[in-house]
Chains A and B, each alone.
Chain A
Amino acid sequence: MKILAIDTSNRPLSVAVLDDATVLAAITVTVHQKHAEYLLPEIERLLAMAELKPTDLDRVVVAAGPGSYTGIRIAVTTAKTLAATLNIDMVAVSSLATLAANVPVEGALVAPIFDARNQNAFAGLYRIKNGVPTAVIADTHTDVADFLAAVNKYGEPVWFLGDAANFSDLIATTISAATPAISPWLNLPQVATIGLLGQKLTPVSDVDRFVPNYLRLTQAEAEWRAKNPEEDTESYVEKI
């Protein structure tokens, strides 16, 4: 099975090409956040190095959010268009789980965090089970202090990843158990890992209707729904 894996959820851009369990080529870039410009050229380059054509692909695995709204839309648009146009499978993985997969310690509790400004974050808590990150606290958009308090209740060592360094003081004062120091490398998505995991996951059943996991309504939509709680929100786009 030939697999392409992509993540542009935040500043890092990560792309990998695999053939079953063999990683053929992988790249992670953090020097810029110009995913619209660079994602497809990087995919082209990696496939060329792996001597594969787009039509050779069997599956695309995408980190589908949460993250930067524009970032997750670029990865998901690329993934769903590839899947739709080549008629291949698409697997969606949480962008937070993608980071959690960097910790290869069986049984470990892992807390990936994306800074969402103003002491808010996208965060989740995962346990590594049989090598796979399994959600313990579902991905959420949350006040960082509230999230850390919930994590601390487990009373176990926790691996903090992603933008956790932005909240190091709060982590130090909130978490009573150990917080293992990690290589900065593990704070970046390495999508070869979800490329490997994604081979066993169930593909998205309706690629066309698939959307990123934003975890937040737009402000306009939230305000509108608060005022119109009984309205159906599904049928606002129509073919003319």
Chain B
Amino acid sequence: MSPTEKRNLILAFESSCDETSVAVIEDGHKILSNIVATQIKSHQRFGGVVPEVASRHHIEEVTLCIKDALDEAKVGYEDLDAVAVTYGPGLVGALLIGVTAAKTVAFAHNLPLIPVNHMAGHIYAARYVEPIEFPALALLVSGGHTELVYMPAENQFEIIGETRDDAAGEAYDKVGRVMGVNYPAGKTVDEWAHQGKDTFKFPRAMEKDDNFDFSFSGLKSAFINTTHHADQIGETLSKQDLSASFQQAVVDVLAEKTKHALADYPVHQLILAGGVAANQGLRERLERDLQSNPTTHLVKAPLKLCGDNAAMIGAFAYVAYQHGVFADATLNADPSLEFDWAADSVK
């Protein structure tokens, strides 16, 4: 970029669940600021996210996050090129705070407004590692979603497989609760898993089926039955071995399905993203699997950008900006927003 060329600056908002976040992103790949106010401590009182409580926290934080994001980036409204916001999927009341605030800022300063799908944002956290090369495949794993997304070209997303019941992160939280771990349980279960062994051999659901869908409810039930039975006969099971067995089953299913998908969809990059992408067991397994793959290399979303944040929203917003994808002042939250299914998928 020549010094005379103006940099593109996007003010991005994210409020789909329990984090209020505002970021300033330069040219889609440089984070000037990424303010994240997390409500985890609040929801831990209740053992999980309470939607009305989440909405109430977002409205407390949102304008402070805007100010901090601009201050830290050392830019003013006059420097901005656009405002971007997550408009779904997520909790409707939570989404509405970010959407309303972003729309209002865009209106007040006469800036274009870019609507961003939260899942596209998660994928574009990988943009902070390296440019995305197409075609690409993304394994998106979070508390609310588990899906394989094929990207034939920039700004094109097609679901080729998704969970039929629980999301992987949801299953982590549920088995965590059984072992006395508060939400979000992923990190602790991951740590215990590394100290234990897969002794319980829980079922791997749909691993061999001829599709790219996932299922974790059977695994969760097997886990609960095992611990329940042990409780009844007064036996104490190793949390480390339980965690290792659970995690091994989750990772096997995710990795096997991804391997099948890569066989049908040859791509340059496999992108691992979403909150559960921070899981060390999953990261290590995919690294190993991809070592022997001559054509596809693994791009893992940076650990600190796996959870919800506005920097990832700004990264994809830059792509949308180039493609002229804008919303007007009627933009609403869409809690069940999702990518289209691939036309030739074996759903």
Q: A85-B108, A239-B36 are in contact. Are A73 and B99 (CB under 8 A)?
A: no
Residues of B contacting A239 in the complex (Cβ-Cβ under 8 angstroms): 35-38, 68
Q: Which of A18-26, A132-140, A159-167, A216-224 contacts B (4 or more CB under 8 A)?
A: A216-224
Per-residue CB proximity of A227-238 to B under 8 Å, as 1/0?
010000001111
Residues of B contacting A235 in the complex (Cβ-Cβ under 8 angstroms): 41
Tell me the bound Cα distance from A220 to B46 in angstroms.
7
Residues of B contacting A81 in the complex (Cβ-Cβ under 8 angstroms): 62-63, 66, 100-101, 104-105, 108
Q: Which of A31-39, A93-101, A120-128, A177-185 contacts B (4 or more CB under 8 A)?
A: A31-39
Q: A208-B64, A237-B42, A237-B61 are in contact. Are A36 and B100 (CB under 8 A)?
A: yes
Q: A40-B103, A208-B64 are in contact. Are A86 and B108 (CB under 8 A)?
A: yes
**Shortest distance in angstroms between A213's beta carbon and chain B's nearest beta carbon?**
12
B56 interfacial by beta-carbon distance below 8 Å = yes
Chain A, interface size category, equals 35 or more
Residue ID in chain A nearest B47 by CB atoms: A220
Per-residue CB proximity of A201-226 to B under 8 Å, as 1/0?
00000011101101000101100100
Verify B329–A207 contact, CB threshold 8 A.
no
Verify A37–B104 contact, CB threshold 8 A.
no
**Shortest distance in angstroms between B78's beta carbon and chain A's nearest beta carbon?**
11
Tell me the bound Cα distance from A38 to B329 in angstroms.
8
**Shortest distance in angstroms between B330's beta carbon and chain A's nearest beta carbon?**
5
Grouping DSSP codes into helix (H, G, I), strand (E, B) and loop, the A interface class, with mixed when no group exceeds half, is helix
Other-chain contact of A85, B35, B52, B68, B105 (Cβ < 8 Å): B105
Verify A85–B56 contact, CB threshold 8 A.
no
Q: A237-B37, A238-B37 are in contact. Are A70 and B59 (CB under 8 A)?
A: no
Verify B41–A238 contact, CB threshold 8 A.
yes
Residues of A contacting B96 in the complex (Cβ-Cβ under 8 angstroms): 36, 70, 73-74, 77
Other-chain contact of A84, B67, B328, B331 (Cβ < 8 Å): B67
B55 interfacial by beta-carbon distance below 8 Å = yes
B27-80: which residues lie under 8 A (CB-CB) from chain A?
35-39, 41-42, 45-46, 50, 52-53, 55-57, 59-64, 66-68, 77
Other-chain contact of A54, B35, B39, B97, B107 (Cβ < 8 Å): B107
Verify A43–B107 contact, CB threshold 8 A.
yes
Residues of A contacting B333 in the complex (Cβ-Cβ under 8 angstroms): 36
**Shortest distance in angstroms between A69's beta carbon and chain B's nearest beta carbon?**
7
Residue ID in chain B nearest A86 by CB atoms: B108
Residues of B contacting A237 in the complex (Cβ-Cβ under 8 angstroms): 20, 37-39, 41-42, 57, 60-61
Tell me the bound Cα distance from A224 to B329 in angstroms.
38
Per-residue CB proximity of B80-104 to A under 8 Å, as 1/0?
0000000000000100110111011
B109 interfacial by beta-carbon distance below 8 Å = yes
Verify B45–A224 contact, CB threshold 8 A.
yes
B280 interfacial by beta-carbon distance below 8 Å = no
Other-chain contact of A78, B45, B60, B104 (Cβ < 8 Å): B104
Tell me the bound Cα distance from A238 to B44 in angstroms.
13
Tell me the bound Cα distance from A218 to B329 in angstroms.
30
Residues of B contacting A209 in the complex (Cβ-Cβ under 8 angstroms): 60, 64
A116 interfacial by beta-carbon distance below 8 Å = no
Other-chain contact of A73, B53, B93, B108 (Cβ < 8 Å): B93
**Shortest distance in angstroms between B110's beta carbon and chain A's nearest beta carbon?**
8
**Shortest distance in angstroms between A228's beta carbon and chain B's nearest beta carbon?**
8
**Shortest distance in angstroms between B154's beta carbon and chain A's nearest beta carbon?**
29
Other-chain contact of B63, A40, A84, A220 (Cβ < 8 Å): A84
A104 interfacial by beta-carbon distance below 8 Å = no
Q: A40-B329, A220-B53, A237-B57 are in contact. Are A73 and B37 (CB under 8 A)?
A: no
In the assembled complex, 22 residue pairs joining A and B whose CB atoms fall closer than 8 Å, in A order, are: A37-B332, A40-B100, A40-B107, A41-B330, A73-B93, A73-B97, A73-B100, A80-B63, A81-B63, A81-B66, A84-B66, A208-B64, A208-B67, A218-B50, A218-B52, A220-B53, A221-B53, A236-B42, A236-B45, A237-B37, A237-B60, A240-B36
List 5 other contacts, CB 8 Å, given A74-B96, A238-B38: A36-B96, A40-B107, A78-B104, A239-B35, A240-B37
9 interchain residue pairs of minimum CB distance: A236-B42, A84-B63, A81-B104, A40-B329, A77-B100, A220-B50, A54-B108, A218-B52, A81-B101
